[in-house]
Structure formats: structure tokens, C-alpha cells
């Protein structure tokens, strides 16, 4: 301020980015405490619904936030290019960075345009396949913690996703996954 006038001076935007990144890191560290508060609320959400590509990105972030081992049923057939790009360039590196292991049962081919799902210790990933003809999986299903999420991300359908927060449902699907895992090649 000089007299009654206020003068503004431009700063390097890098400083703002660094500040926001540190705020985000602090928020991520506080998430377990905030989730505990949510669980103690009288009306807990049990089902969360997402629409569109941005909604599916939020759905995928949910299983990263839980920081629990992940079990996944998936097919790479007709995967939406934006989801494929997000998975390869953000989701998979973020999962590895957070040290979250994943077991994947793939129905059909294990490769798409830019994704190749194979057992890889560096990527904390174990993969088995099942016949797409006998056992088609037209969506993506994640089982993590007490949650199960389903995402439809095909190029021939509207991207939608659902997260179900239930110990019983996650336990049932986890048992089903383990049964199929034992039988898969």
C-alpha cells in the first residue's frame, strides 16, 4: 500500500504450486483421521456413484487412499483411451509410489494399446488370466479394504462407477476372487 493505492507485484507461479503440493501432502496425511470422523457420523454413506471420465478418476483414487492391497477383475477390451492414459501415466505410478500391491485376474488379452498387464515385482503386480469366452468381464472390479468398486469404462458405453462400502460384500467378493485366483493360469 502506498497511500490509498494498493500495488500488486507478480510472483513466480512455481511458489504457488509448491505451496499447494505441501498443503495436499498435509491433507493426505490427515485423511485417516478425517475418515475416522466420517465413520463415527450417524448417517454413513454406503454407496457412492460416479459419472464420466473425471468421476472414474475419483473412483480409482479411492482405492489409492485406502492404502490396502488390491484385488482386481478386469478386461482390457475396448478400454476408453482417457482411462488407459490415466491408468498408465498416473494411477499405476501412484499405486507403486504408495507401495500398494495388486493381484489382477484378466479376462482375455493382457495388452491394450499402451497397457501390458503382466506379473512384475517392481510394479507390485501379480497377474493371472481366464478365458474371455467362458468368463467375460465387461467392467473393472476392485476389492480393497472394506470396499468394492465397479467401473464401466468401455468406448461403447457411458463411463460410470460405483463404490460399495460394506465388509460383507467385500469379504464375499474377496472369497470369490481367491477361488478364481487358485483356478486361473
At 120-170, the pLDDT tens digits run 888 898 988 888 888 888 888 999 999 999 999 888 888 999 999 988 889
DSSP 75-98: --TTB-HHHHHHIIIIIHHHHHHT
Question: Structural domain of residue 39, as residue ranges?
Answer: 11-44
Check if the beta carbon of residue 96 is closer than 8 Å to that of residue 65.
no
Is 6 among the domain residues?
A: no
Report pLDDT for 43: 45
Is 157 among the domain residues?
A: yes
Cα Rg for the chain, rounded, in angstroms?
Answer: 20
Instruction: Tell me, yes or no, whether 99 and 173 share the same domain.
Output: yes
At 60-109, the pLDDT tens digits run 999 899 889 999 988 877 888 888 888 889 999 999 999 999 999 988 76
Instruction: Tell me, yes or no, whether 178 and 134 share the same domain.
Output: yes
Instruction: Tell me, yes or no, whether 38 and 60 share the same domain.
Output: no
Residue 32 sits at φ, ψ, to 5 deg, of -55, -40
Is 3 among the domain residues?
A: no
CATH assignment at residue 173: 3.30.870.10
**Distance between CA atoms of 174 and 7, rounded to whole angstroms?**
61
**Distance between CA atoms of 72 and 18, rounded to whole angstroms?**
34
Residue 123 sits at φ, ψ, to 5 deg, of -85, 5
Residue 23 has pLDDT above 80, yes or no: no
Is 165 among the domain residues?
A: yes
Q: Which three cell numbers stand for residue 39?
A: 465413520
Report pLDDT for 40: 59
Q: Which three cell numbers stand for residue 159?
A: 463411463
Residue 114 has pLDDT above 90, yes or no: no
Residue 32 has pLDDT above 90, yes or no: no
Please count the structural domains in the chain. Answer: 2
Is 159 among the domain residues?
A: yes
DSSP H or E run through 138? none
- DSSP-derived secondary structure letter, 140: E
Q: What is the pTM of this model?
A: 0.71
Report pLDDT for 155: 83
Q: Is 33 exposed, middle or buried (0-12, 13-18, 19+ CB in 10 A)?
A: exposed
Contacts of 126 (CB under 8 A, 6+ apart): 101, 102, 103, 104, 119
Amino acid at each position: 500500500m502506498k497511500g490509498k493505492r494498493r500495488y500488486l507485484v507478480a510472483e513466480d507461479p512455481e511458489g504457488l504450486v509448491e505451496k499447494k503440493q505441501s498443503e495436499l501432502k498435509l491433507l493426505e496425511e490427515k485423511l485417516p483421521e478425517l475418515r475416522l470422523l466420517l465413520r463415527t457420523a450417524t448417517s454413513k454413506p454406503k454407496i457412492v456413484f460416479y459419472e464420466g471420465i473425471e468421476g472414474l478418476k475419483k473412483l480409482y483414487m479411492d482405492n489409492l487412499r485406502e492404502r490396502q492391497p488390491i484385488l482386481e477383475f478386469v478386461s482390457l477390451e475396448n478400454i476408453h483411451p482417457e482411462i488407459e492414459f490415466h491408468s498408465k501415466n498416473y494411477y499405476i505410478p501412484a499405486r507403486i509410489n504408495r507401495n500398494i500391491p495388486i493381484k489382477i485376474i484378466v479376462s482375455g488379452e493382457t495388452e491394450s494399446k499402451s497397457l501390458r498387464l503382466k506379473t512384475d515385482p517392481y510394479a507390485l503386480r501379480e497377474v493371472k488370466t481366464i478365458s474371455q469366452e467362458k468368463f467375460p468381464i465387461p467392467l473393472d472390479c476392485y476389492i480393497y479394504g472394506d470396499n468394492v468398486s465397479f467401473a464401466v469404462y468401455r468406448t461403447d458405453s457411458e463411463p460410470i462407477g460405483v463404490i460399495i462400502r460394506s465388509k460383507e460384500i467385500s469379504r464375499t467378493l474377496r472369497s470369490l476372487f481367491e477361488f478364481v485366483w487358485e483356478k486361473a493360469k
